[in-house]
A and B are shown apart, each in its own frame.
Chain A
Amino acid sequence: MSALELMDLSLRELGRRLRARQVSAVELAEASLARLEAHGPRLGAVATLTRELALAQARQADEELRAGQDRGPLHGIPYGAKDLLATRGIPTSWGAEPLREQVFDFDATAVTRLREAGAVLVAKLAMVELAGGLGYNNPDASFTGPGRTPWNPDCWSGGSSSGSGAAVAARLVPFAIGSETSGSILTPASFCGVTGLRPTYGLVSRHGAMALSWTLDKLGPMAKSAEDCALVLAAIAGPDPHDPATVPDGFVWPERPSRRPERRPRLGALRHATASSVPAVKQAFEQSLAALRGFADVEEDVPFPDFPWGPAVGVIVDAEGASAFRDLIESGATRRMRAAADRVGGYQMLMTLAVDYLQALRLRGPMRAALDELLSRYDALLVPTRGGLAPRIGYDFDKQPDAAPSPRPAPSPSPDTKKPATPATIPAGNLAGLPAIALPNGFGPGKLPTSLQLLGRAFSEPRLVEIAQQYQAVTDWHVRRPEGIG
């Protein structure tokens, strides 16, 4: 079996073959490393290969499995981590040129938990510099160059978890860890045609992860399927005394493939869900609704609460990001950032008024209540993950509002715009700390993927994944793979 074919298998199938001695963890690590070396640079997906560590972890995994010590479904499986997760003795650049040599002497909790689950770290994956916090305005915003979607390398992989999305889509790794402040998992999942799960705020420890916004940052899995995401989330979720935001709840996913849910899911398709979408996204969304109606009750034209979601995220990221990166900005080091907008954005952020920041934080109470009231009537809300397709490398985001990168909100429409706006579910879901899952649901011109977003109530990940699994059982978008990655 080729390296590509191995990396194309589901996590459960990889685990089955490992336990049946049909493949070893070392062979899997070698396959992943070979593919990362062959395709990673072309896609701008890799910050650092961790070959030595990976092979040591893989050898240990093989020895343990031979000795009958089974750490669970990730045992012996390679993965990549967004390069904002601290890894002992290995550079952790946060995607930024001034920090290329940064090395921590400890592992992030997520990395520790994956190691304890037997997973094998093969690479630190590329990302938008400082997770996009300083306001980058084009895809070329990392010292590794622009992230490219494997479906069309002339186009962007999305951000800020650019490498995580591209590496999973190109079958360089079976799964990856990304992070989201406001869209940084969902956007690359959409542009790369993979499944991305943004967990409830506080479900996964951020200890050892770069802080951009303490009250918004989250870590989550990116993989081919919803079930793969669930298996990874089960390994990294849970309380951590090092992260005061973590909650006692963990996330449990059954060892055996799940049975059909006992009742039909109740879903709400949002009013104006495709108002700002390109035709391919609109068509894919309508096809998704048809597929969902096969196993769920879908109510259409569901109104979304009207709040200034985007501006609130903007003010919070400005204030918390300015504080988190104050030393870096005031030292002048951000002048060496890749994107021109990132070289000046920090100075603007430093001028955020405290009263505006507190106003945004005060709004989060009523915002959270309004969303929870709406979601109390549904298992999930439905909307396209992004209204546009991946923009071309070199594109100025200011010209294509829906491609505006996370965590910055899209520019406001001009006052004379009469057209209804698509509900701002990405900033809304992040402000309320809600989980969401992005699922591939079609293709547009240029073979660029489209994506469906399911937004759920806090801690509703089991239900979201169940619904996503059902959707993926009746569609095949998530198992398609790009050409040119052999």
Chain B
Amino acid sequence: MPSTHRRRFLASLSAAPLLPAALVQSQSSSPEPGSPAALARHLAEVVRSRHGGQLGPGDLDDVTRLIGESLEGAEKLKAVKLTNADEPVTLFSARRPQPCAPGVSAPQATPPIGTRRPGDRP
């Protein structure tokens, strides 16, 4: 929404500071169910329920708009086809165990495949 529209919109809603503008507007125009705009309204409700006490007049309108923009951006990520094998690029890696404290058994090496007994964890 252009900022000029946003400001005008916010001014018109000063009497209902904690109700998202998008919800007020819903009486006349509802976004398509499942659309980013519709989901943004629901997520803005979560923000209101969790953090409404921290928000000032009109803030929830901005949050709703920002969530909608973010979700629209996320929709564009779906345009690239990925396979089931495409893993997220993350930093996590397992580390070799450090020496144990006294009285604690060190982890045992995993038995080779074929020597495991039923019930053994891989």
The answer to whether A and B come from one shared complex is yes
Q: Which residues of A contact B (CB under 8 A)?
A: 135, 214-215, 244-245, 307-308, 310-312, 314-315, 318, 330, 332, 335, 341, 343-345, 347-353, 356, 358-366, 368, 396, 398-399, 409, 411-412
Which of these, B50, B78, B90, contacts A361 with CB under 8 Å? B90
Q: A244-B91, A348-B67 are in contact. Are A308 and B82 (CB under 8 A)?
A: no
> Which residues of B in the span 38-69 have a Cβ within 8 Å of any Cβ on A?
43-44, 46-47, 50-51, 54-55, 59, 62-63, 66-67, 69
A345 nearest in chain B by CB position: B66
Interface centre among B62, B78, B80, B89 (most CB of A within 10 A): B89
Prevailing SS type, chain A contact patch: helix
Tell me the count of chain B residues lying within 8 A, CB to CB, of chain A. 32
**Is there contact, CB below 8 Å, between A215 and B77?**
no
User: In the complex the two chains form, what is the Cα distance from A409 to B46 in whole Å?
Assistant: 25
A401 to chain B, nearest CB (A): 13
User: In the complex the two chains form, what is the Cα distance from A389 to B78 in whole Å?
Assistant: 33
Residues of B within 8 A of A244 (CB): 91
Q: Name 17 extra pairs, CB < 8 A, besides A344-B59, A351-B67, A353-B71.
A: A214-B91, A215-B89, A308-B80, A314-B70, A345-B66, A347-B47, A348-B66, A350-B47, A351-B47, A351-B70, A356-B77, A360-B77, A361-B89, A362-B88, A363-B77, A412-B73, A412-B76
Residues of A within 8 A of B73 (CB): 308, 310-311, 314-315, 409, 412
User: In the complex the two chains form, what is the Cα distance from A468 to B91 in whole Å?
Assistant: 32
**Is there contact, CB below 8 Å, between A215 and B66?**
no
Prevailing SS type, chain B contact patch: helix
A339 to chain B, nearest CB (A): 12
**Is there contact, CB below 8 Å, between A315 and B77?**
yes
**Is there contact, CB below 8 Å, between B74 and A245?**
no
B98 located at the interface, meaning its Cβ lies under 8 Å from any Cβ of chain A in the complex: no
**Is there contact, CB below 8 Å, between A347 and B51?**
yes
B34 to chain A, nearest CB (A): 14
B89 to chain A, nearest CB (A): 4
User: In the complex the two chains form, what is the Cα distance from A122 to B36 in whole Å?
Assistant: 48
Residues of A within 8 A of B80 (CB): 307-308, 363, 366
User: In the complex the two chains form, what is the Cα distance from A214 to B89 in whole Å?
Assistant: 12
B87 located at the interface, meaning its Cβ lies under 8 Å from any Cβ of chain A in the complex: yes
**Is there contact, CB below 8 Å, between A311 and B77?**
yes
Interface centre among A315, A358, A362 (most CB of B within 10 A): A362
User: In the complex the two chains form, what is the Cα distance from A47 to B47 in whole Å?
Assistant: 33
**Is there contact, CB below 8 Å, between A335 and B54?**
yes
**Is there contact, CB below 8 Å, between B86 and A362?**
yes
**Is there contact, CB below 8 Å, between B66 and A363?**
no
**Is there contact, CB below 8 Å, between B70 and A362?**
no
**Is there contact, CB below 8 Å, between B55 and A215?**
no
**Is there contact, CB below 8 Å, between B77 and A308?**
yes
User: In the complex the two chains form, what is the Cα distance from A330 to B44 in whole Å?
Assistant: 15
